[in-house]
Chain A
Amino acid sequence: MTTRFDIEYLRVLGPDGRLVGKNPPALAKDTDRLVELYRQMLRVRTFDTKSVALQRTGKLGTYASCLGHEAAHVGIGAAMRPEDVFAPSYREYGAQFMRGVKPREVLMYWGGDERGNDFSGPKHDYPWCVPIGTQCLHAAGAALAFKLRGEKRVGVACVGDGGSSKTDTYAAINSAGAYGAPFVLCIINNQWAISVPRRAQTGAPTLAQKGLAGGLHCLQVDGNDIIAVVAAMEEACERARRGDGGTVLELVTYRLSDHTTADDARRYRPDDEVKAAWEEEPLKRIKAYLVAKKAWNEKKEQAWKAECGATVDEEVNAYLATKVQPIESIFDHLYADMPEDLARQRQQALDWEARR
């Protein structure tokens, strides 16, 4: 039996801020919603800039910037429903803010405090995931639970181009396909896995096509195009929700920042490549589109930026003012009922701290 496949590429809004192609999705006309989405993208960027500044002034540990990923992240979050479950890697703050995670929680996490993972908003979402790709199987497992219980909820995971090489990612694709689970995998291809370029990860021409091996729907999307991302993500979630199987979306974007604040990307990638990538960045084009449609202007931009700055500062101060947890906190959340041995050790730790 011969099989052929095509991987479609979806772009709605070009880098110059103009629609491409015929029959744009309805969202392209919904300027109110687009303005709101743009606001969220600006909010994320404001937060991201402040976080880097915090790290540079010694107030935050290592931080993974999301510069350049705003459309991909905000778009994913916007298309999901509150009852869905989100399994991030460690960079998708834009999606998480859409789902109710607070900036101070992100800062707590990178600031070395476990309470950052205790989201006050989306109670079922997974915490940030450092072991690459493992979150994909968690989302697939969640999706399987939803299917087994007959719930109309979707399990969504984000993974990078580097992470798409991980055994766990393949396993998630395969098992989600085998079980027909409501699983959506967003491969956020920002072209770089620390210093390893996209072409070194795999021989396959697209990352989206990895879904074919598991029998999932596959689509490649311009990840800097908020309209395309939301449209594609909404369709994928609906498909999963009605029981028609999972999807792999490859969101093509670019990592405009270093891998983390401790990395230095100039060691391994040329400056003109980064410059060219800035021309395609997500905020520029949606702003141009909305300004052309008279739905946005400079005055609104400055006012919104100031408001973002103020709310981010509030979150930053809340984070900085949070005291370090007491020593017993490292014992108190290990088991439902604390074993005796551990209770003794906990007391020893307390005694040691009180020794002066």
Chain B
Amino acid sequence: MAEKKSFHLPDLGEGLPDATIVEWFVKVGETIRLDEPLVSMETAKAVVEVPAPCSGTVLKLAGAAGDVIETGSVLAEFELDPKLPQRADAEDTGHSHGHKGAGKPTPAADDGDTVIASDDGGELDTGDTAPAGREDAGTVVGAMESSDRVHSEQVSAAAGVKAMPAVRALARKLKVDLTRVKPSGAGGVVTMADVKQAAADGSASGPAPATARREPATAPQPAAAAQRTPVSASGRPMATRPPQAAPGTGQPEQLKGVRRNMARVMAAAHAQVVATTLADDADIHAWTPGNDITVRLVRAIVVACKAVPALNAWFDGEKLTRTLHPHVDIGIAVDTDDGLFVPALRNADMLDARGVREGVNRLRQQVMDRSIPSTELSGYTISLSNFGMFAGRYATPVVVPPCVAIVAAGRGRHQLVPVMGGVETHRIIPLSLTFDHRACTGGEAARFLRAMLDDLALPG
């Protein structure tokens, strides 16, 4: 049984997706010799003679004069004559410069798959725009991939804002905060025009870019394993925000952003810290009116830190070093829809009551509008979590290295307290102190808590 050979229309050197048959120089059943003229094909404006790639009998021809054949699809089939000169095939170089059919086995021409247009009728490739007077694809060397496939880039929904990549790029260039632009496109898509309008009327100016993204830290920051922050390195908020009150889908959803970060950070903390918790109640019965609970908690922590510096420290579990801090920066836990943020109230030991109040308000505001610089989300020396707004008395909050202590205040309540001569109702705030027992002793923790309780017991 003689060998058969399928001859695929090669790229005729002009990177064209197809060519039209002008004239066959052989008929089915006839014999042709290697390099003899097989067919003339018209590429746009040039008629090219294609020689036979082998010697043998012609079995099939892919179409008639006027038919368009895709580059890479079968042009003719031969039965090789071993007595006549043949030519070897060259190795495939891995280029894909043909059309869709290139390199893949294609059905025989009779199926009509590869004939995409014909003077006798037949199917037109509707994916193609009408090639009226199609220009030749042109190149003076080589062969490039060429197709009529139409591709459109998609709107992305990053950070809860729908926009095309080009629109995002323009927003960056014009320093427009996309999250504040009113979208006018269909489906809530922000358009170029929207961004330009926002830039012109200043309605959505973005957060001031950090003057230096990474300033050398004034206090040496331990190179913690992935001290990740929920705010990006440029000080801008995280990209993804979950949709508001979306109902559960019952399907696993990939954690992103702050939640993802929390999962990692908490797991790492749990793995390292030896957490021990002491709890007690602060009796604030003596407070005069106008006392702000956050301010008093902050003050109490400062007093306790001065009394027991061991809990105002950083611990390095690998190097086994402990850094006692002369100042007190308190990380204030702020809960948001996106998750937990812990901005630092710097130099809490230097602030008066008003300074603390204003400072805490400012931090809350910056977290809410995502303008807090990333440098302010780390580097605190001890933290405070006032979770008592909703429910809960005592807790075992998580100490996140390099800190060694965290204070948690639960929901204030009234309680019957025995006193000399009877029983009184006092308002109390439950306090929990979790500390890292690698770095602090129970005695230190207890003395710290005592100092807090004593300060909180003062009238104001």
Contacts and interface: CB of A to CB of B under 8 A. Distances in A.
A267 interface: yes
B13 A262 contact: yes
A264 B14 contact: yes
Interface centre among B45, B87, B89 (most CB of A within 10 A): B87
A98 B138 CA distance: 34
B87 A194 contact: no
Contact of A317 (B13, B15, B88): B88
A56 B49 contact: yes
Interface stretch (A2-10, A273-281, A319-327): A319-327
Contacts of B87: 59, 313, 316-317, 320
A45 to B, nearest CB: 14
A62 B138 CA distance: 13
A89 B10 CA distance: 28
B183 to A, nearest CB: 46
A271 to B, nearest CB: 12
Nearest to B51: A53
A59 B90 CA distance: 7
A323 B136 CA distance: 33
B12 A266 contact: no
Contacts of A194: 140
B185 to A, nearest CB: 43
Interface string B1-19: 0000001101111110000
B72 to A, nearest CB: 9
B243 interface: no
Contacts of B89: 59, 320
A262 B45 contact: no
A3 B193 CA distance: 69
Given A50-B35, A53-B35, A62 B13 contact: yes
Nearest to A316: B87
Contacts of B51: 53, 56-57
A263 interface: yes
Contacts of B11: 58
B460 interface: no
B141 interface: yes
A53 B13 CA distance: 12
A160 to B, nearest CB: 14
B177 to A, nearest CB: 44
Nearest to B85: A313
Interface in A142-196: 194
B90 A56 contact: no
Interface in A300-356: 313, 316-317, 320-321, 323-324
B13 A266 contact: no
Given A56-B12, A57-B53, A267-B45, A262 B142 contact: yes
Nearest to B34: A313
Interface string B48-78: 1111010000000000000000000000000
Nearest to B71: A58
B25 to A, nearest CB: 14
A320 B90 contact: yes
B50 A56 contact: yes
B272 interface: no
A324 B89 CA distance: 12
Given A62-B13, A324-B93, A260 B35 contact: no
Nearest to A111: B90
Contact of B10 (A50, A56, A316): A56
Contact of B13 (A111, A261, A316, A321): A261
B88 A321 contact: yes
B179 interface: no
Interface in B115-152: 136, 138-143
B50 A259 contact: no
A112 B45 contact: no
B215 interface: no
A58 B6 CA distance: 13
14 contacts: A56-B12, A56-B49, A59-B89, A59-B90, A61-B142, A62-B13, A62-B140, A62-B141, A62-B143, A194-B140, A264-B46, A264-B138, A266-B46, A313-B85
Minimum-distance CB pairs A-B, first 4: A58-B10, A262-B13, A320-B88, A53-B51
Given A56-B50, A264-B136, 20 more contacts: A53-B51, A55-B13, A56-B10, A56-B49, A57-B7, A57-B10, A59-B89, A59-B90, A62-B141, A62-B143, A112-B93, A259-B140, A260-B13, A260-B140, A262-B141, A262-B143, A263-B140, A264-B46, A266-B45, A267-B45
Interface of A: 50, 53, 55-59, 61-62, 111-112, 194, 259-264, 266-267, 313, 316-317, 320-321, 323-324
